[in-house]
């Protein structure tokens, strides 16, 4: 199983290091062979000696250059970072990334050999229209994306379940992941209010290969309890 922590705009450089040290020691002392990723904010990116893959939540499609406020490959190479989240709904909805921008980013980082956690998800009004509408909406988020890229992990994150405390139901996750599996042979993660209380149920659903966790990942002990659930 894959357990990925997306810190979003939480944690600092200092608390990220403390978190990674603490989670690493729990992982090393425990007996778990799960695959663990952490995506700290870009100010906290660094080289860590840890049984954890550290990735970036975002980056610009350039080696370096005049892109105020962005980071490029130079800044990632400094710390050996080769993993990126692309297409997160907060970047699409809050920061205005269109499918075209997302697809360009995917193509660029694929070309650079990055592992890409590619995020898709529907808003509530689409979910309320039923399964067929959801699948059509999600399929449109594959426009311009190489869905066969061997270093892609897909993350299905219904927008209405993110940060709301209301996870999708087992039936909703099962039917959506089953539909996605018809297109995607790579691992498929679920994200959206995954937490210690529902993690066992979520990871036992067919076609769920792991989770992408926001709020419940911010505390290392809490996240570790999910990894070992």
- Residue 169 DSSP code: P
Residue 147 belongs to what H/E stretch? Answer: none
- CA–CA separation, 48 and 60 (whole Å): 22
Cα distances (angstroms) measured from residue 168 to each of 177, 193, 219:
12, 8, 22
Q: For the chain, what is the total number of helices (H) and then of strands (E)? A: 9, 8
Binding residues for ligand 13P restricted to 101-130, rule: CB under 6 A: none
By CB under 6 A, name the one of 38, 145, 179, 212 that touches ligand 13P: 212
Q: Which pair of structure tokens corresponds to residue 96?
A: 């205005």
Q: How far is the CB of 94 from ligand 13P (least distance, A)?
A: 12
Q: How far is the CB of 97 from ligand 13P (least distance, A)?
A: 14
172 forms part of the interface with ligand 13P (CB under 6 A): no
Binding residues for ligand 13P restricted to 10-49, rule: CB under 6 A: none
Q: Which pair of structure tokens corresponds to residue 52?
A: 């954890």
By CB under 6 A, name the one of 1, 2, 3, 6 that touches ligand 13P: 6
**Is residue 78 flagged as an active site residue?**
no
**Is residue 11 flagged as an active site residue?**
no
Q: Which pair of structure tokens corresponds to residue 189?
A: 């993660």
By CB under 6 A, name the one of 202, 208, 213, 226 that touches ligand 13P: 213
Known catalytic residues are: 88, 157
Residues that bind ligand 13P (CB under 6 A): 6, 88, 157, 162-163, 191-194, 212-216
């Amino acid at each position: 199983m894959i357990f990925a922590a997306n810190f979003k705009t939480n944690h600092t450089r200092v608390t990220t290091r403390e978190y990674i040290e603490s989670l690493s020691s729990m992982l090393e002392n425990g007996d778990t062979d799960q695959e663990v990723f952490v995506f700290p904010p870009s100010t906290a990116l660094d080289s860590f000696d840890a049984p954890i893959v550290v990735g970036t939540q975002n980056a610009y499609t350039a080696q370096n250059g005049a892109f105020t406020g962005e980071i490029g490959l130079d800044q990632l190479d400094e710390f050996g970072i080769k993993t990126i989240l692309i297409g997160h709904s907060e970047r699409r909805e809050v920061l205005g990334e269109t499918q075209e921008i997302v697809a360009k980013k995917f193509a660029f980082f694929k070309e650079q050999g990055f592992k890409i956690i590619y995020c898709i998800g529907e808003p509530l009004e689409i979910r309320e229209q039923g399964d067929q509408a959801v699948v059509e909406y999600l399929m449109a988020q594959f426009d311009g994306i190489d869905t066969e890229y061997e270093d892609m992990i897909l993350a299905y994150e219904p927008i209405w379940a993110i940060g709301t405390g209301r996870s999708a139901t087992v039936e909703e996750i099962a039917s959506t992941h089953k539909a996605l599996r018809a297109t995607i042979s790579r691992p498929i993660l679920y994200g959206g209010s995954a937490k210690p209380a529902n993690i066992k149920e979520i990871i036992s659903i067919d076609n769920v290969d792991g989770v992408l966790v926001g709020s419940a990942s911010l505390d290392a002990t809490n996240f570790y309890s999910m990894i070992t659930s």
